[in-house]
Amino acid sequence: MEDDPRISTPLVEGLTREGYEVHAVATGADALAADHTDLVLLDLGLPDLDGQAVCRALRARSAVPIIVISARGEEIDRVLLLELGADDYVVKPFGFRELVARMRAVMRRATGDVSSNGASAIEVGSLRIDRRMHSVEFEARPISLTPKEYELLVYLASDAGAVKTREQLMHDVWDENWWGSTKTLDVHVASLRKKLAPSLIETVRAVGFRLAVASGPPR
């Protein structure tokens, strides 16, 4: 969704040439009323609704991958949008090839697994992840996660107890071309701890994080 035709028109033409079926809208209201899509490119500077509100509304009802496109490149904006559920953030002006690469990476992560060891289900203590159904349960409670929270949890749970460095996590769960602050990792870890249990993900000082093998709250 982009309200400036000087950007949206060539973008639609370029993505169409790449083989994508594109549905362009110019307002947040039209975006929220649109049919299901496989991926959303979201401009923050919409004429009717704030892009952050649109992102929040989309994520509340769907796990569709969202890439934010904006001229606002401050770190606080990036962290906030990622915390609201966006999967990536591209700052204007951007290269078309970079955008397509990010779209492919986000789609690949949304439809595949960043680290799965071939198992359709992962169980660690009170935690159960059904990769086929893309669902998570903790202490028999269904847990709603954003796509990136889910990917991070799967990555850690696939090798429970093992310490993963911050660099590993940013490279494998985000992608090797991630250019933003690693503070987004802390945001997602904090969110998982809040939704599951504070003791679920342990911090290994000056190294990274690991999933506690017990994966349950303290008794």
d(C-alpha 4, C-alpha 37), whole Å? 21
- The domain that holds 187 is classified in CATH as 1.10.10.10
> How does 78-90 read in b/e, with b if 16+ C-beta sit within 10 Å?
bbbbbbbbbbbbb
Q: What angle do CA 84, 88, 93 make, to 5 degrees?
A: 120
Domain-terminating residue out of 111, 130, 158: 111
Based on the domain organization, do 15 and 103 belong to the same domain? yes
Residue located via tokens 């769907």: 62
What does each of the 219 residues of the chain score in pLDDT, given as a tens digit?
Answer: 666 677 888 889 999 988 889 999 988 899 899 888 889 999 888 888 888 888 888 888 888 888 988 776 665 566 766 777 788 888 887 888 888 888 887 887 666 544 444 456 889 999 999 887 888 999 999 999 888 888 899 989 988 899 999 988 888 887 655 555 668 889 999 999 999 999 999 999 989 999 998 654 443
Position 29 in a domain:
yes
Position 217 in a domain:
no
Residues with Cβ within 8 Å of 22's Cβ and at least 6 positions away in sequence, in order, are 12, 15, 16
Q: How many CB atoms lie within 10 A of CB 19?
A: 6
- The domain that holds 14 is classified in CATH as 3.40.50.2300
Based on the domain organization, do 12 and 71 belong to the same domain? yes
Based on the domain organization, do 54 and 105 belong to the same domain? yes
Write down the pTM of the prediction: 0.56
Position 11 in a domain:
yes
Position 61 in a domain:
yes
